[in-house]
Structure 1
Amino acid sequence: MSSNRSFDAGTRLIGRLAYKYRSGDPNTLRRDLQSLADATFYAADRYSLNDPFEGRFDRSSLDAQFSDLRTFVSGTAPQAASTLDQVSQAADRLLAFVDKSGVFSLSYNPLQELIWAHYGGSHRGFCIGYDLQKLVDFEPNIHSVLDLQYSNATPTITPTDLLVANNPVTVLQKMLGVKSKPWAYEEEVRVITQPPGRHDHDYRALKVIYFGLRCPEATMLAVMEALAGRGVTYQQVISPQSSYALKSVAVADQYSSAAQYKANCAPINDGAIYPDDLKPEQKHYAAYLSKAAEIVRREPYCQEVQLVDFSIGRSTAKAPIIFVQYLRAPNKWVSHYLTLPEIDKQYAALGLPNDV
């Protein structure tokens, strides 16, 4: 899968959960339940967000330096002036990125009192917990993930920022990743997409739901029904009488007996495995190729297993690693890398015979 990502999800996001608060309001509940059922999220353009200062930054220093350079080269170096114009236009395009982006805002804290009051319908709603890495791995239109910074000063874009061509997140952080200090209680993280709008995600990214203190039972049951068979866990927010602190306790899934969502057994391409082409030291592990294919064909989004082999870049004679590539959608491929112990464990969990 190709994308224009500006971050390494594997190093920054692994194991991190982030939370989206929902109000439970009858006017939006149907929409939110449909989003849960469809495994989608909505990234709004900055003009739709509730802070009128979204995307505000100071580019006066940048413009001043361009102006000084134009004055310096004007009439004496036409070629340099032309190049400067091209650089200036490129800077304008980069800075205009903010108006072409979508923002999906989340919090790192599922038990923040003010967020429940402001976005959780005064505790009548619920809070959705996502595995950030799984959320962003699925969607190639996700450009960046930004931890919000909070400041009393508007961020300034300088020519130096634009020179960091190999790390465009530096500029994007200033454009969409800074808010004033009163917002710091939100502990916000933002998924930045291009374009804005609705985006799909791996349904397994949704890990947990927190129900507010006043969340109606009907809303709780509707959420559980929308997520039936997906292995989601549920928490009920509580507050001991002796303090204002928010805590949570586990709630039983009323649809725990539902069939597994997106159970799958995709076809394996006839030419996916070439046992006759294996090196002598690999032939001893040939059965693992078929076992790996059996594991991956059961991936919920797998349409066809297309290639299974020993990884050239990661595998060694003493520690073989199996590479499996499958088709997820037209012109979209996903790669899996499995060690032999991982294959043994996952294959055994499937309950299949060993004589593949």
Structure 2
Amino acid sequence: MILYKYYGYESGLAALKSQCLGFREPRNFNDPFELSALSHVSEGDADILEKVNEIRDSVVILSLTRTPLNPLMWAHYGDEHKGFVVGYKVDTGFFQDPEFSLVPIDEGDVFYTNTKTPLNVCKDKLHKTWLDTLGAFDSPQEKLEFNKLSRKLFLTKHSTWVYEEEVRVVKPKTSFFMTCADFQSHPFRSFNSLDNVPGLRIYHQQHTISEVYFGVRNPLLSEGNGSDELYELANRENWGLSKIVLDDKSWSLKSSVLDSAEMLAKI
């Protein structure tokens, strides 16, 4: 299965050259309502809301999508059409293994709703859910209860975002039951943080790139731009290269295949 990630120009170049992926802390997402699906609590339940926020702050999230041809996504996340969309093969343990993800890719479809259901859960259950985000997976029944709450918290957004067709992977930020060295020892957990991008962690695991789409205004589509390193990499890794074009007969975007050898000839 292939899922897609929209990038700006500079961040897209970095992602293509490293073939790594970045996860974000939810409080650094562009939507201030992010992960607030469980915020509808009764008056006087501030301690419960605080526990919900602790759960939210204990994870990082990767956001992918099912389509590379969404005009709104290109405008919002593709650097006003100057960036890239990268198609990743997600049939690997990094995305799918529940040992390393609180929400694996196969369970990560975002649910869109117009309403917030009042939260009807005790603080003790929320506390256990918080512990589970830190690695304390216990009985199958407790894991089942955690999954129910986590899906509602991590995978619910307002219906205005339905155009994104979002699919998520949710990973724990750390573990209270492992040393930092042990946590970082496995490539599915090992990461670096970038000081200039708040809340972003770049995982060291490299991923198979299947498709790369250049935005309508992407500078690399111009000749004489010194892009030899990227095009040679695309040719070596056998990426399918396409450029996004406007459909003159509609308000839609479409793609046109680029020959990597042709792109190399521009250098």
Please classify the TM superposition score into its range, dividing by the shorter chain length. Answer: 0.5 to 0.7
2:220 is aligned with 1:213:
no
How much has 1:20 moved relative to structure 2?
0.9
1:101 pairs, out of 59, 63, 78, with 59
Check whether the contact 2:89–2:207 (CA below 8 A) recurs between aligned residues: no
Post-superposition shift, 1:140? 5.8
Whether the aligned pair in 2 keeps the contact of 1:228 and 1:256 (CA below 8 Å) is no
How far off is 1:254 after superposition? 3.7
Q: 1:98 to 1:126 in 2, by over 3 A?
A: same
Change (3 A) 1:138 1:93: same
What is the deviation of 1:200?
A: 2.9
Residue 98 of structure 2 is aligned to residue 120 of structure 1: no
1:151 aligns with 2:113: yes
Q: 2:236 aligns with which of 226, 229, 239?
A: 229
Contact 2:63/2:169 (CA < 8 Å) preserved in 1? Answer: yes
| TM value normalised by structure 2 | 0.67
Q: Which residue of 2 aligns with 1:8?
A: none
From the superposition, tell whether residues 202 and 186 of structure 1 become closer, same or farther in structure 2 (CA, over 3 Å): same
1:124-145 per-residue CA deviation (whole Å, 9 max, x = no partner) reads 1110111222351589643213
Q: Percent identity, aligned pairs only?
A: 24
> 1:1-356 maps to which residues of 2 (within 5 A)?
15=1, 17-24=2-9, 29=10, 31-56=11-36, 57-58=38-39, 60=41, 96-134=54-92, 136-137=95-96, 141-144=100-103, 145=105, 146-159=108-121, 165-167=142-144, 168-195=146-173, 197-204=201-208, 206-216=209-219, 217=221, 218=225, 223-254=230-261
User: Given residue 167 of structure 2, which amino acid in structure 1 is its aligned partner?
Assistant: V
Paired with 1:229 and 1:138, the residues of 2 have a C-alpha distance of 29
| 2:12/2:84 contact within 8 Å kept | no
TM-score computed with the length of structure 1 as normaliser: 0.52
- The 2-side partners of 1:156 and 1:255 are apart by 57
Mapped to 1, the partners of 2:226 and 2:158 lie a distance apart of 34
Q: What's the CA shift for 1:159?
A: 3.2
1:211–1:220: 8 Å Cα contact kept in structure 2?
A: no
Provide the alpha-carbon RMSD of the alignment: 3.5
SS of residue matched to 2:250: coil
Match of 1:331 in 2: none
Q: Which has the higher contact order (CA 8 A, sep 6+)?
A: 2
Deviation at 1:228, TM superposition (A): 4.9
Partner Cα distance (1:175, 1:220) in 2: 42
Rounded to whole Å, the distance in 2 between the matches of 1:44 and 1:124 is 22
Distance 1:241 1:219, change over 3 A: farther
In the alignment, the residues of structure 1 paired with residue 96 and residue 154 of structure 2 have an alpha-carbon distance, to the nearest angstrom, of: 21
Shift of 1:47: 1.1
C-alpha change, 1:254 and 1:141, in structure 2 (3 Å) is: farther
Q: 1:201 to 1:152 in 2, by over 3 A?
A: same
Tell me which amino acid in the other structure corresponds to 1:236: K
- 2:260 partner SS: coil
The structure with more radius of gyration: 1
